[in-house]
Structure 1
Amino acid sequence: MPRTAVEDNQRMNLRVPPEVKSRLARAASLNHLDLTSFVTQAALREADAVIAAAEKIKLSEDSYLRVLSLLENPPEPNEKLLAAAKAMPKSV
């Protein structure tokens, strides 16, 4: 059964084969880092790349121009949008 992550715990245990740990330790040593710093830096670089890719929206030039045009010249609201707006709770 998986254990629940503890928010205030600063430890993270990884199980890797000995040859993987050895390669990581060698690379860390070549960069004059301890194993924890090396693995953390590499993991953070990958995490940042994954997050950046997930947060980007890629559009073709035609789509980009269409979005800009709609932002500058929005269409009149239709009945469905008006009904949805009326159903929204009043903000304080």
Structure 2
Amino acid sequence: MPTADNAPRRDALNLRIAPAERNLIDRAAASLGVTRTDFILGAARRAAEDALLDRSVMAVSPEAYAEFLARLDVPAQPNERLRQTMQSPSPWAQP
């Protein structure tokens, strides 16, 4: 159990945010059963990891790249789950 002497150090991060954005974040955090802080930290961490991973270089053979492009050109096949997703309202647009 951490005590005051060995507790990990945490820094404060202050943000200015519009009330509508804060409310959206609060609703999303509540829907996941986490605190606003945990929700924001998780989202920021994922965004930071994605930003860094986007800077990664992947080398593949010309054949593998051609196969990749061919698969991207294949249209998505309609299915019930896709149909439901496309017909449901966006979570951020709901009151």
Which TM bucket (shorter chain)?
A: 0.5 to 0.7
Query: Percent sequence identity over matched residues?
Result: 27
- Residue 55 of structure 1, CA deviation: 2.4
Name the structure 2 match of 1:55: 56
For residues 21 and 49 of structure 1, the distance between their equivalents in structure 2, rounded to whole angstroms, comes to 23
Q: Which has the larger radius of gyration?
A: 1
Name the structure 2 match of 1:41: 42
Of structures 1 and 2, the one with the larger relative CO (CA 8 A, separation 6+) is: 2
- Residue 9 of structure 1, CA deviation: 6.1
The amino acid that maps onto 1:50 is A
* Structure 1: 5+ residue stretches without partners: 1-7, 65-92
Q: TM-score scaled to structure 1, two decimals?
A: 0.52
- Residue 59 of structure 1, CA deviation: 6.2
Figure out how many residues of one structure are paired with residues of the other and give that number. 56
Name the structure 1 match of 2:16: 15
Name the structure 1 match of 2:27: 26
The amino acid that maps onto 1:22 is N
Report the aligned-residue RMSD. 2.3
- Residue 61 of structure 1, CA deviation: 1.7
Q: TM-score scaled to structure 2, two decimals?
A: 0.51
Displacement over 6 Å in runs of 4+: none
